[in-house]
Amino acid sequence: MAFLLPLLITLLIEPPFAFLLKKSGLSSYLFLVLLNAVSNPAMNALYVYAFGGSDVFLCVAEAVVYLLEATLVFFFDHRNPWAYLLVLLANLLSLEVGLLVNEVVLGKLIGLEELVLVLSVLLLLEFAFAAWYGIFKGKRKDALAGKDHEHV
C-alpha cells in the first residue's frame, strides 16, 4: 500500500497534465503512463528501503527522475525541447500534491484505504477518457481524410 498511493497520484497527474497541455495522441499518453509506472515505484523503493526516507535523497532522486523522464519524452516526442518544461511542470505538480496528500493522510484527515480507493476510481476514469479521446481523435482524422472504417 505504501507504494500504491504515490503511484496513483503520479498517474493521475503527470500523464494527463502533459496530454492535455500538449494535446498529443494516445501513444504519447500511454508512453507517459508506462514511464511513470516504472520510475515512480523504483524511486520510492530506493527512497524507503535504501535511504530510509531521507529528504536529501528525495530531492536528488526527484531531480534524477525528472532528467531521465524528460530526456526519454524528448526523444519519444521527436526531439521537442518543450518536453523538458512540460515534464518539469508535471513532476513538480505531482510532487506537491503528493506532499500535500502525505500531510492529509499523516494528519488522519482521511484514511489511507479510502484515499487509495478514490484515487483508483479516478485513475480508471482517466484511462477510460484517454481511450475514448484516442479513439474519437482517430475517427475524426479518418473522417476528415475521407476514410470509412466500415469498408476496411
Domain around 109: 4-147
pLDDT value of position 152: 45
**Residue of 104, 110, 109, 125 lying closest to 12 (CA atoms):** 125
91 within domain boundaries: yes
Degrees to nearest 5, angle at CA 4 with 6 and 85: 30
Angle between helical axes of 112-145 and 26-45 (0-180°, round to 10) = 160
Q: How many CB atoms lie within 10 A of CB 150?
A: 4
- Total tally of structural domains belonging to the chain: 1
Rounded distance, CA 39 to CA 58, Å? Answer: 13
Structure letter (DSSP) for residue 151? G
126 within domain boundaries: yes
pLDDT < 50 regions, the chain: 151-152
61 within domain boundaries: yes
**Residue of 35, 3, 38 lying closest to 18 (CA atoms):** 35
44 within domain boundaries: yes
Coil vs helix vs strand at 129: helix
pLDDT value of position 141: 60
**Residue of 126, 117, 119, 97 lying closest to 15 (CA atoms):** 126
55 within domain boundaries: yes
pLDDT value of position 95: 86
Degrees to nearest 5, angle at CA 104 with 100 and 109: 160
pLDDT value of position 76: 84
52 within domain boundaries: yes
152 within domain boundaries: no
104 within domain boundaries: yes
